[in-house]
Structure 1
């Protein structure tokens, strides 16, 4: 029988400030999985009392960002005036549309103490009709996220919709971002609930697929989502993400995603020139900004 594992990609390191993250997407071999165009695995890391997580104001267009933490805390501010602390299990969902600026920093009350930080930062492309929409922001508390158990397997639907379960995160296209946990070896047959394209990331533990074992720091992409089944080898935490891909290719340069190259070029020019009509300042964080890179990063 032919394998259903289409790609096995190793996590690669990337720098954001003084912090190393494991970048899962994009890769040369695979630029997107469904509408998911960018996934960073942050940490786990221990920041000393003299270290902080500081990403100064920077712009986005044409995408939604999803921040989900396992440990630690990040304070989000954006050019729409939102200012909120994100804690483990909560979801920050920001839709950039035609343009937004935001910063992510260690909260003031934690800046002189050691801290752990661990989580995901994810970019999801927008349908073409929404790429130039007004920006928006939602913060979802952890007790609003659907959690359930089936046959000893724990599920959490962080975003999207699967059969009779739906996350309150206001996504813009058919997708899913699902956490699966087992405490002992379990067979998981979930392909009948999935659709579109699907990727798997094993955070802790290992899984067995078609007789082969796969562990952490690997991204697995299935050829056929409906055939997605696997076995966990004990205490395991993994994530399935994917959904319906867009008809049009999504172009990416730095923090900008769009299906129209001219819109990307205009965003580059506006950020270089600090055009406040396109990219307003972030209230409460007006002094700094991330300069446009000298070379392509993605």
Structure 2
């Protein structure tokens, strides 16, 4: 086995969304998925101007699950199931699109006067083919319900799956691991082969894996079977993610993910024809189908 723990190093494409940036490492020209993870965005960090905020108008999804996890700030989620949920740091919003859901994400009104903060990770998970067209669902799990593992100057919150002997209560539609690892100065944490496909991502600070420095905002895909140790000299914030390989390729176009290109084309037509359900408390605005989407799979 190679001494290099990294199978691939995926550098981000960054987009300025007006007041804050997102750094996207999946889908990537070199790789579409790591386990079920098919979209990986770091939002911010950003301090938005007083009176401002994010306003992601209602938009559709199919055949995927979104996972929103914040480091700082808050987001109000509304969807076509009638859900309202405020997500704050350390909690998880899991939205399963199934055969179709519409949602919006906005900065809370009470956060806007002073200028809201925004920092976190949003991911999409591909669904097993047998579950792609399931009924839509939403699940919010507060940080107090997520297990935390502490050892050797490291503190890991288990977002999804089982890691270091602890299991998250968040629903997994396929084998998934996902953790938020805070490394103190001089802290360390072992990374064992808990899943067939894994990656690590340094969100902020400094960290290394078996002595190889990690650069911020880059997704490092690990070789299968790799055992290694995360360390930090001055303190760092690392995400660990992965799971079992998906049961076949997935296609991505805009906000749609599916094993079938025909299904994505149908979703485009349905959104243009206003056949998706509406968000009850946010039905006036909607995001139109883009001519050239920022998110696509390759080729």
Same fold by TM-score greater than 0.5: yes
- CA deviation after TM superposition for structure 1 residue 175, in Å: 0.7
Query: In structure 1, how many angstroms separate the alpha carbons of the residues matched to 2:145 and 2:270?
Result: 37
Identify the residue that residue 296 of structure 1 maps to in structure 2. Answer: 293
Identify the residue that residue 285 of structure 1 maps to in structure 2. Answer: 282
Residues 55 and 131 of structure 1, relative CA distance in 2, 3 Å threshold: same
Identify the residue that residue 249 of structure 2 maps to in structure 1. Answer: 249
Kindly tell me the number of residue pairs found equivalent between the two proteins. 294
Identify the residue that residue 24 of structure 1 maps to in structure 2. Answer: 25
Is the 8 Å Cα contact of residues 195 and 226 (structure 1) preserved in structure 2?
no
Query: In structure 1, how many angstroms separate the alpha carbons of the residues matched to 2:101 and 2:148?
Result: 31
- CA deviation after TM superposition for structure 1 residue 211, in Å: 4.0
Residues 91 and 230 of structure 1, relative CA distance in 2, 3 Å threshold: closer
Identify the residue that residue 104 of structure 2 maps to in structure 1. Answer: 103
Is the 8 Å Cα contact of residues 92 and 138 (structure 1) preserved in structure 2?
yes
- CA deviation after TM superposition for structure 1 residue 17, in Å: 6.0
- What SS is found at the alignment partner of 1:195? coil
| Larger CA deviation: 95-104 vs 85-94 | 85-94
- CA deviation after TM superposition for structure 1 residue 162, in Å: 2.6
Identify the residue that residue 268 of structure 2 maps to in structure 1. Answer: 268
Unpaired runs of at least 5, structure 1? none
Query: In structure 2, how many angstroms separate the alpha carbons of the residues matched to 1:284 and 1:155?
Result: 36
Identify the residue that residue 5 of structure 2 maps to in structure 1. Answer: 4
Is the 8 Å Cα contact of residues 198 and 225 (structure 1) preserved in structure 2?
no
1:163-220 CA distances to partner (integer Å, 9 max, x unpaired)? 631111111111111122221224432214x211111111222223354322312211
Is the 8 Å Cα contact of residues 184 and 235 (structure 2) preserved in structure 1?
yes
Identify the residue that residue 222 of structure 2 maps to in structure 1. Answer: 222
Identify the residue that residue 56 of structure 2 maps to in structure 1. Answer: 55
Is the 8 Å Cα contact of residues 60 and 101 (structure 2) preserved in structure 1?
yes
Identify the residue that residue 145 of structure 2 maps to in structure 1. Answer: 144
- CA deviation after TM superposition for structure 1 residue 230, in Å: 3.6
Identify the residue that residue 130 of structure 1 maps to in structure 2. Answer: 131
Identify the residue that residue 205 of structure 1 maps to in structure 2. Answer: 205
Identify the residue that residue 192 of structure 2 maps to in structure 1. Answer: 191
Provide the TM-score with structure 2 as the length reference.
0.93
- CA deviation after TM superposition for structure 1 residue 229, in Å: 3.1
RMSD between superposed Cα atoms in Å:
1.7
Is the 8 Å Cα contact of residues 96 and 137 (structure 2) preserved in structure 1?
yes
- What SS is found at the alignment partner of 1:109? helix
- CA deviation after TM superposition for structure 1 residue 131, in Å: 0.4
- CA deviation after TM superposition for structure 1 residue 248, in Å: 0.8
